[in-house]
Structure 1
Protein backbone atom coordinates (compact mmCIF):
# COMPACT_ATOMS: atom_id res chain seq x y z
CA UNK A 1 0.00 0.00 0.00
CA UNK A 2 1.24 3.48 -0.90
CA UNK A 3 0.07 6.72 0.71
CA UNK A 4 1.23 10.20 -0.25
CA UNK A 5 0.54 13.26 1.91
CA UNK A 6 0.37 16.59 0.10
CA UNK A 7 2.23 19.60 1.49
CA UNK A 8 -1.11 21.30 2.31
CA UNK A 9 -2.24 18.26 4.31
CA UNK A 10 1.15 17.93 6.06
CA UNK A 11 1.05 21.59 7.07
CA UNK A 12 -2.49 21.28 8.46
CA UNK A 13 -1.65 18.01 10.28
CA UNK A 14 1.36 19.63 11.95
CA UNK A 15 -0.73 22.67 12.90
CA UNK A 16 -3.50 20.58 14.47
CA UNK A 17 -1.28 18.01 16.17
CA UNK A 18 1.06 20.77 17.38
CA UNK A 19 3.73 18.62 19.04
CA UNK A 20 1.28 16.27 20.81
CA UNK A 21 2.74 12.79 21.21
CA UNK A 22 0.82 10.05 19.46
CA UNK A 23 0.25 8.15 16.24
CA UNK A 24 -1.59 9.11 13.06
CA UNK A 25 -4.06 6.41 12.01
CA UNK A 26 -6.04 6.10 8.83
CA UNK A 27 -9.23 4.44 10.06
CA UNK A 28 -12.13 2.67 8.46
CA UNK A 29 -14.59 3.63 11.18
CA UNK A 30 -17.66 1.40 11.44
CA UNK A 31 -18.96 2.65 14.81
CA UNK A 32 -22.64 3.49 14.43
CA UNK A 33 -22.69 2.58 10.74
CA UNK A 34 -24.74 -0.61 11.05
CA UNK A 35 -22.42 -3.01 9.25
CA UNK A 36 -18.78 -3.35 8.23
CA UNK A 37 -19.31 -2.32 4.60
CA UNK A 38 -20.94 0.98 5.60
CA UNK A 39 -17.85 2.47 7.25
CA UNK A 40 -16.35 5.93 6.95
CA UNK A 41 -12.70 6.74 6.21
CA UNK A 42 -11.24 8.93 8.95
CA UNK A 43 -7.97 10.30 10.33
CA UNK A 44 -7.39 9.70 14.02
CA UNK A 45 -4.49 10.85 16.17
CA UNK A 46 -4.24 8.34 19.02
CA UNK A 47 -2.02 8.05 22.12
CA UNK A 48 -1.52 4.27 21.69
CA UNK A 49 -1.55 1.73 18.88
CA UNK A 50 -3.65 -1.43 18.74
CA UNK A 51 -2.19 -4.91 18.25
CA UNK A 52 -3.76 -5.11 14.76
CA UNK A 53 -2.12 -1.88 13.51
CA UNK A 54 0.34 -2.01 10.63
CA UNK A 55 2.91 0.61 9.67
CA UNK A 56 2.82 2.51 6.39
CA UNK A 57 5.67 4.86 5.57
CA UNK A 58 4.67 7.94 3.58
CA UNK A 59 6.56 10.86 2.11
CA UNK A 60 5.80 12.96 5.23
CA UNK A 61 5.15 10.81 8.32
CA UNK A 62 4.36 7.27 9.37
CA UNK A 63 0.69 6.31 9.27
CA UNK A 64 -0.89 3.30 10.95
CA UNK A 65 -3.86 1.24 9.79
CA UNK A 66 -5.74 -1.73 11.15
CA UNK A 67 -4.52 -4.68 9.12
CA UNK A 68 -7.98 -6.26 9.15
CA UNK A 69 -9.49 -3.14 7.48
CA UNK A 70 -7.01 -2.73 4.60
CA UNK A 71 -9.44 -4.48 2.25
CA UNK A 72 -11.58 -1.30 2.26
CA UNK A 73 -8.72 0.94 1.06
CA UNK A 74 -7.21 1.38 -2.41
CA UNK A 75 -3.62 0.35 -3.12
CA UNK A 76 -2.47 3.92 -3.91
CA UNK A 77 -3.95 6.85 -2.00
CA UNK A 78 -3.32 10.50 -1.34
CA UNK A 79 -4.22 12.55 1.74
CA UNK A 80 -4.87 16.16 0.77
CA UNK A 81 -6.34 19.21 2.50
CA UNK A 82 -9.00 21.44 0.99
CA UNK A 83 -9.06 24.98 2.35
CA UNK A 84 -12.43 25.53 0.61
CA UNK A 85 -14.11 22.85 2.76
CA UNK A 86 -11.60 23.07 5.64
CA UNK A 87 -11.23 19.31 5.61
CA UNK A 88 -8.84 16.55 4.73
CA UNK A 89 -9.51 14.42 1.67
CA UNK A 90 -8.63 10.81 0.96
CA UNK A 91 -8.26 10.15 -2.76
CA UNK A 92 -7.02 7.42 -5.04
CA UNK A 93 -6.51 7.41 -8.81
CA UNK A 94 -9.90 5.66 -9.11
CA UNK A 95 -12.07 7.66 -6.71
CA UNK A 96 -12.51 10.06 -3.81
CA UNK A 97 -12.78 7.85 -0.74
CA UNK A 98 -13.71 10.71 1.60
CA UNK A 99 -13.89 14.34 0.47
CA UNK A 100 -14.71 15.70 3.95
CA UNK A 101 -12.43 13.85 6.35
CA UNK A 102 -11.75 15.39 9.74
CA UNK A 103 -8.84 14.77 12.07
CA UNK A 104 -10.06 13.31 15.36
CA UNK A 105 -7.69 13.78 18.31
CA UNK A 106 -8.30 10.81 20.60
CA UNK A 107 -7.36 10.89 24.27
CA UNK A 108 -6.53 7.98 26.54
CA UNK A 109 -10.15 7.77 27.74
CA UNK A 110 -11.81 7.90 24.27
Structure 2
Protein backbone atom coordinates (compact mmCIF):
# COMPACT_ATOMS: atom_id res chain seq x y z
CA UNK A 1 0.00 0.00 0.00
CA UNK A 2 1.19 3.51 -0.79
CA UNK A 3 -0.06 7.02 0.05
CA UNK A 4 1.15 10.17 -1.70
CA UNK A 5 0.80 13.59 -0.09
CA UNK A 6 0.55 16.91 -1.86
CA UNK A 7 2.60 19.90 -0.63
CA UNK A 8 -0.32 21.33 1.37
CA UNK A 9 -0.87 18.02 3.19
CA UNK A 10 2.82 17.77 4.08
CA UNK A 11 2.81 21.33 5.41
CA UNK A 12 -0.35 20.79 7.47
CA UNK A 13 0.93 17.54 8.99
CA UNK A 14 4.25 19.16 9.86
CA UNK A 15 2.41 21.97 11.63
CA UNK A 16 0.34 19.56 13.74
CA UNK A 17 3.41 17.44 14.58
CA UNK A 18 5.11 20.61 15.86
CA UNK A 19 8.54 18.95 15.95
CA UNK A 20 7.35 16.18 18.30
CA UNK A 21 7.70 12.52 17.35
CA UNK A 22 4.68 10.74 16.00
CA UNK A 23 3.25 8.69 13.17
CA UNK A 24 0.05 8.75 11.18
CA UNK A 25 -2.65 6.10 11.14
CA UNK A 26 -5.25 5.83 8.42
CA UNK A 27 -8.32 4.54 10.25
CA UNK A 28 -11.60 3.21 8.89
CA UNK A 29 -13.74 4.52 11.74
CA UNK A 30 -16.96 2.58 12.25
CA UNK A 31 -17.90 4.09 15.62
CA UNK A 32 -21.53 5.26 15.59
CA UNK A 33 -21.86 4.28 11.91
CA UNK A 34 -24.32 1.41 12.38
CA UNK A 35 -22.20 -1.60 11.46
CA UNK A 36 -18.63 -2.73 10.85
CA UNK A 37 -18.97 -2.37 7.09
CA UNK A 38 -20.10 1.28 7.23
CA UNK A 39 -17.38 3.69 8.19
CA UNK A 40 -15.48 6.82 7.32
CA UNK A 41 -11.74 7.33 6.78
CA UNK A 42 -10.02 9.33 9.51
CA UNK A 43 -6.44 10.31 10.27
CA UNK A 44 -4.87 9.93 13.70
CA UNK A 45 -1.49 11.15 14.86
CA UNK A 46 -0.22 8.56 17.34
CA UNK A 47 2.89 7.73 19.35
CA UNK A 48 3.15 4.14 18.14
CA UNK A 49 1.38 1.81 15.70
CA UNK A 50 -1.42 -0.46 16.84
CA UNK A 51 -0.84 -4.15 17.55
CA UNK A 52 -2.11 -5.22 14.12
CA UNK A 53 -0.89 -2.25 12.06
CA UNK A 54 1.08 -2.59 8.86
CA UNK A 55 3.11 0.20 7.24
CA UNK A 56 1.86 2.27 4.32
CA UNK A 57 4.64 3.40 2.01
CA UNK A 58 5.09 7.17 2.28
CA UNK A 59 7.67 9.87 2.47
CA UNK A 60 8.38 11.89 4.63
CA UNK A 61 6.02 10.64 7.36
CA UNK A 62 5.49 7.12 8.73
CA UNK A 63 1.94 5.96 7.96
CA UNK A 64 0.23 2.85 9.36
CA UNK A 65 -3.09 1.06 8.96
CA UNK A 66 -4.71 -1.86 10.75
CA UNK A 67 -4.24 -4.87 8.47
CA UNK A 68 -7.95 -5.75 8.70
CA UNK A 69 -9.00 -2.21 7.67
CA UNK A 70 -6.67 -2.11 4.66
CA UNK A 71 -9.31 -4.00 2.62
CA UNK A 72 -11.47 -0.85 2.57
CA UNK A 73 -8.86 1.09 0.57
CA UNK A 74 -7.08 0.83 -2.76
CA UNK A 75 -3.36 0.05 -2.89
CA UNK A 76 -2.50 3.57 -4.07
CA UNK A 77 -3.97 6.58 -2.30
CA UNK A 78 -3.44 10.32 -2.43
CA UNK A 79 -3.99 12.80 0.37
CA UNK A 80 -4.53 16.47 -0.41
CA UNK A 81 -4.48 19.21 2.19
CA UNK A 82 -7.10 21.96 2.26
CA UNK A 83 -5.33 24.72 4.19
CA UNK A 84 -8.38 27.00 4.40
CA UNK A 85 -10.41 24.42 6.33
CA UNK A 86 -7.46 22.52 7.89
CA UNK A 87 -8.87 19.28 6.49
CA UNK A 88 -7.73 16.59 4.08
CA UNK A 89 -9.20 14.85 1.04
CA UNK A 90 -8.48 11.16 0.35
CA UNK A 91 -8.61 9.72 -3.18
CA UNK A 92 -7.67 6.51 -4.93
CA UNK A 93 -7.13 5.88 -8.66
CA UNK A 94 -10.74 4.78 -9.14
CA UNK A 95 -12.65 6.59 -6.43
CA UNK A 96 -12.97 9.55 -4.11
CA UNK A 97 -13.13 8.42 -0.48
CA UNK A 98 -13.95 11.56 1.45
CA UNK A 99 -13.07 15.15 2.16
CA UNK A 100 -13.19 17.16 5.37
CA UNK A 101 -10.93 14.67 7.17
CA UNK A 102 -9.46 16.16 10.33
CA UNK A 103 -6.09 15.03 11.69
CA UNK A 104 -6.75 14.02 15.30
CA UNK A 105 -3.73 14.18 17.61
CA UNK A 106 -3.85 11.09 19.81
CA UNK A 107 -0.21 11.02 20.84
CA UNK A 108 0.58 10.11 24.41
CA UNK A 109 1.55 13.12 26.50
Say yes or no: TM over 0.5. Answer: yes
Could you list the per-position Cα deviations for residues 39-94 of structure 1 after superposition, in whole angstroms to 9, with x for gaps in the alignment?
A: 11011001232110001221322200000111101121101112344311111121
C-alpha RMSD over aligned residues: 1.6
Q: Which runs of 4+ in 1 moved over 6 A?
A: none
Report the Cα distance in structure 2 between the residues aligned to 1:29 and 1:104, rounded to whole angstroms: 12
Aligned to 1:64: 64
Aligned to 1:99: 99
Give the TM-score of the pair, scaled to structure 1. Answer: 0.89
Aligned to 1:40: 40
Contact 1:5 1:60 survives alignment (8 Å): no
Structure 1 spans left out of the alignment, 5+ residues: none
Aligned length: 109
Give the TM-score of the pair, scaled to structure 2. Answer: 0.90
Structure 2 spans left out of the alignment, 5+ residues: none
